[in-house]
Structures are given as structure tokens and as C-alpha cells.
Structure 1
Amino acid sequence: MKPDFSFIILTYNEEVHLPRLLKSIEKLGAKIYILDSGSTDNTLKIADQFSAEVKTNKFENHPKQWHYALNNFQIDTPWTIGLDADQIVSPELFEMLASFKDEDFKEINGIYFNRKNYFQGTWIKHGGYFPFYLLKMFRTGIGYSDLNENMDHRFIVPGNTAIWKKGYLIEENLKENDLDFWIEKHKRYSDRVAEEEFERLQGLRSQTLNPTLFGNPDERTAWLKRLWWKLPLGLRPYLYFTYRMLFKLGILDGRKGIYFHYLHALWFRKLIDKKIVALKAK
């Protein structure tokens, strides 16, 4: 019997990741839609092997790419699941999806999956990285991409949501085993985040979600972001790094984990603040 959900996946040169993801969901029998950004490797051949429907769209940022995907694929199932190519559906999550029935979730419009994030083969278990809930499954035509974000992409749904604490979505970008790749990627990301924050300072962007400390995971993130924007530039990366390492026990993640927290919480955030200062100076 056809499941009550379909998958949408974003790709760009994902031949190293896409087979891993597609094999993890293949036996669910769900329709797969792939929005590609102009891959030059074997990504599209792999998509064809798994009978995925493919469209191509020039990439600007993740929120806009997801917006295009949600509005240009003709999804005919009541639910849509949006995944990135470097993610995998764990066997536990597979079983939850295999037994999923729309009739059991009549009062729910969105479902959060719990993510396990890996960096160079190491599970980042602390530092605020686990548990970490992502809204990945939502009612077709109701969930949408938050275009008020320039970098961090998230889906939004009105109404009630559920959180699946078990059955993990595993995320590991194998390209990031090459540290140079990670650094160059985050240099590009820092441009987008700095531009977004600068536009917020000018009142050109607003938060789509209601920032609430005790709301759903995304409303809580919106509250924390609003606090973050009020902290002094240059100082806040050190505060954030200390918070992740000590208060959220990132120091327990081992050598590679500690290096990840340094790169993501301190190096990356310092780079963003420097670029915001440069934008303000102009």
C-alpha cells in the first residue's frame, strides 16, 4: 500500500551521499522528488536508478531552494518529508515511518525528528547538539519554507506539532572529512549570515516565528536568536563557545568533537562578526 508521505531531497554533487540516503528509505515505497542545483557528477544518474522525479533550479540559498521545491513538485500524498542529501533515515525511524498512518495524526500538522550529527566520524553528543529536533515532516500544502532566513533553513507549520524523540535522523557530511572543504564552505556561509544579521539591524528582516523560550523547538531557537543578536559583536562568540563547552558539556565530545565546537561556535562566529563590522563600516 502506498504510504501517506513523499520525500523531497535537495542535491548538488551528492554522489557520495545520495545512494546512502536513498537506500535507507527505498523499502518504504514512497515517491521521491529531487531538486538539483546543477550537479556535474553522478547525482542525477543515481536519482534515476531510484526512479526519483528530478527538477533543476539555480541555487541562491537553502530557504529559497526549499520554497521552490515545495511549490513546483506536485505532491499527491497528505504528508511531505524534506531531507538533505547528507542525512540518513535510521532503522528505528524507518520503522516509525513504515507504520505511519495519516488517520493517527489528524490533529497534527508537523512532526519533529531527532537528529544525530556526526563530524569526521564522531557523534557530536554534547554542546547542545543532542537531542536536536528538526521539523522535517509536515502536511502537504501547509508546511512552508521560512524565507525570512538567509542561511538557516527551517520549515514552518501553523497548528499543532509532534516530536519523535526516538528514531533518529542521522546527519554526516562525508565531504567535511576534508577540513579545507569545511572551512571554505563556512566562509561562504558566513557571508550569508553576516548579510542577514546586517539586514535585521536595518529592520529589513523580521522573525516569522513567535520567539518563545517555552514553545516548540523552532520557537525556542527564535527566542535564543533574538537574544544572540543583542549581544556585543566580538564578545558573543567567546560566550557561545564557553556555553557549549562547559554548560552544555561539549568538552566531553573528545578531541574531534572539541575541535568541531571550536570551529563552529568560535571560529565561524568570529568570522561572521568581523564581516558584520565591515558591513556597518560601509
Structure 2
Amino acid sequence: MKIPLTVIILTYNEAKNLPTVLQSLNEFVDEIFIVDSYSTDQTVEIAKSYGSNVVQHKFETHTKQWIFALNNLTIANNWILGLDADQQITTELVKELMNLFQTGNPSHSGYYIKRRMYFLGKWIRHGGYYPRYLLKLFRKDSVYLDEGELMDHHFYVNGSTAKLQYDLIEDNKNETLSFWLAKHIRYASLQAKEEIDKARQLQTANADLFGNQDERRQWLKKLWERFPLFIRPLLYFFYRYFIQLGFLDGKQGLIFHFLQACWYRFIVDAMIYEQEKSKIKDKIKSAPKQL
């Protein structure tokens, strides 16, 4: 029995990942949309072979791509599950979702789901990475995004939220170490630009250490901005690897926590420093010369 739920997945060259996620969905949801950024592999053919609706649209940022999808797709249901192509639904989560809809209309505007993330084949369980709750299930008429989020995207809802009990798995089959490094250098440039734009007023969650997942994230983001460049990545790695027991994730954990908490964040800080120095030079050049 299928439930009145629409799944939307963004793709670009996801032929290795897509069959797994579609297999985990086809048995219980009645509508799947693939929003593809003109893949050059077999992504579109695979999506169509599973009966998914495919729409292609040029990619700018994840947030803009999601805004396009939510505003332009002809979605049959009022409930949407927004996934990445490297995410799959566990059997336990399938049962939980089916029970949620079969017992009546869900009472909240959005639901957070725990992400179980794998890196180089290992589940990263420590360093603050599990459980990490992501807002993935939401009412179509309640959701919105912040277009100013350049590096990543987050869903926000008007109304109450709740947490589901079971996990979704994130395991990117494209992701060799060289792939991860190249991707995060691109991400660093976007994150640096986002952090520099201090004047932008976020129309998203309030900053609250004791609030929901997104409110805590905004609070921690404000705290992060107060720390000095180049020092904060080192402190962050120490906190994640030692205080939050990241060392228990073994060799893969050492690689992941160092790269994600220290290496990546250091590159972001270097790019911020570079752009701020460039702005100072431009101001000096444009200043009127005194006679």
C-alpha cells in the first residue's frame, strides 16, 4: 500500500547512487520527481526505468534548485520528502512513515529524520555527527528556504516540528577521497562568500541554543563568527575529535574529522582572509588622493 507522499531528489551524474534510493522508495510512495542538472551519465535513463518523473533544470545552488522544484513541479500530494541522491530510507523508517500516514494526517508541519552518514565505507558515529537531525519531511504549503544559503540548503517550515525515530542512510558511492576533496574546495568558496556577507538578514530559524536543530545551528553559527580566523578550525577539530569522541571512529574517522572540521574550515578562513584583503586594497585604490 502506497501513502500520499511525494519524493523529490536532486541529481547530477548519480547513476551509481540512484538505483539504491529508488529501490527504497518505490514500494511505498506514489510519486517521485527527479530534478536533474543535465547529467552526462545514465542518471536520467535509470530514473525513468523506475517510473520517476524527470525534469531538467540548470543548477546554480542547491537552495535555488530546491526553490525551482517546489515552485514549478506539478506535485500531487501536500506532503514532500526531500532527499539527496546518495540517501536511502531504512526498512524501519519506511514502516514509521507508513504508520505516520495510515493513522491519519500528520499533525506537525515538518519532521526531522536522523542521518546515518558513511565515509570511506564506515559509519561516522562520533564527533557530533550522529544523531544529526535533518528536516526532510514537510508540508508543501508550509516549507520555505533561505536563498542566501550558498554552500548548502536547509528546509524551514512555518509551524510545529517533531522528530522521527528511525534513520536515513547517506552513503555516496561516487565519493572517493579525491572526489570529496575537490567537492569541498568548491564548497569552501561558497561558504566563504556566505560568511563574508554579514549584512544579510537571515529570514530563517531564530538563534536559540535550546531550540530545535535549526535554531541551535543558527546559534552556533553566530558563536563561530566571533572566533578569530585560522584559530577556530583548530579548536573545532579538537572539540570534535577529542571532546566529542571522534577518535572512536577509527582511521576513517581521523581522516573525516580532520578534513571536515579542520582542513575544510581552514580553507574557508583562508578564502575569507583573501577576499577581505582584496576589499581593503580596492578601498585604498579608490580613495581620493590628497594634494
Superposition TM-score, scaled by structure 2 size: 0.92
Query: For each residue in 1:136-177, what CA deviation from the matched residue of structure 2 results, as whole angstroms up to 9, or x when unmatched?
Result: 00011211222231112100001110101x32110011222x
Aligned residues of 1:4 and 1:100 also touching (Cα < 8 A): no
CA RMSD of aligned residues (A): 1.3
Contact 2:6/2:30 (<8 A) preserved: yes
CA offsets per residue over residues 250-276 of structure 1, 9 Å max, x none?
011101111100000000000000000
C-alpha distance in structure 2 between counterparts of 1:4 and 1:226, whole Å:
39
Note the residue ranges of structure 2 that are not aligned, 5 or more in a row.
279-291
CA deviations over 1:29-78 (Å, ceiling 9, x no partner): 42001100110100000111111111111111111111111111111212
Give the counterpart of 2:188 among 172, 187, 190.
190
Counterpart code for 1:265: A
Where 1:133 maps in the other structure, the secondary structure is strand
2:22 paired with 1:26: no
- Correspondences of 1:67-86 after superposition (within 5 Å): 67-86=67-86
**Corresponding residue for 1:171?**
170
Aligned to 1:7: 7
2:145 corresponding residue in structure 1:
145
Conservation of the 8 A alpha-carbon contact between 2:6 and 2:29: no
Identical columns (%): 46
Aligned counterpart in structure 2 of residue 212 of structure 1, from 200, 205, 208 = 208
1:115–1:133 Cα contact (<8 Å) kept: yes
User: Are residues 1:134 and 2:134 paired?
Assistant: yes
SS at match of 1:175: coil
The two structures have a TM-score, normalised by structure 1, of: 0.95
| 1:226 and 2:225 aligned | no
How do 1:40-59 residues align onto structure 2 when only pairs under 5 Å count?
40-59=40-59
Q: Distance in 1 between matches of 2:221 and 2:102?
A: 33
2:286 counterpart residue number: none
Between structure 1 and structure 2, the one with the greater Rg is 2
Tell me which residue corresponds to 2:235.
Answer: 239
**Counterpart amino acid of residue 20 in structure 1:** T
> Aligned residue for 1:255?
251
Q: Which amino acid aligns with 2:124?
A: I
* Alignment check: 8 A CA contact 2:145 2:204 kept: no
Q: 1:133 & 1:3 partners in 2: Cα distance?
A: 23
Q: Which stretches of structure 1, 4 residues or more, deviate above 4 A after TM superposition?
A: none
| Cα separation, 1, equivalents of 2:121 and 2:148 | 33
Query: 2:117 aligned with 1:117, yes or no?
Result: yes
Contact kept, 8 Å, 1:199 with 1:205, in 2: the verdict is no
Measured after TM superposition, the shift of residue 104 of structure 1 is 3.9
Q: Give, as a single letter, the amino acid of the residue that structure 1 aligns with 2:188.
A: S
Q: Work out which of the residue numbers 268, 271, 277 in structure 2 matches 1:275.
A: 271
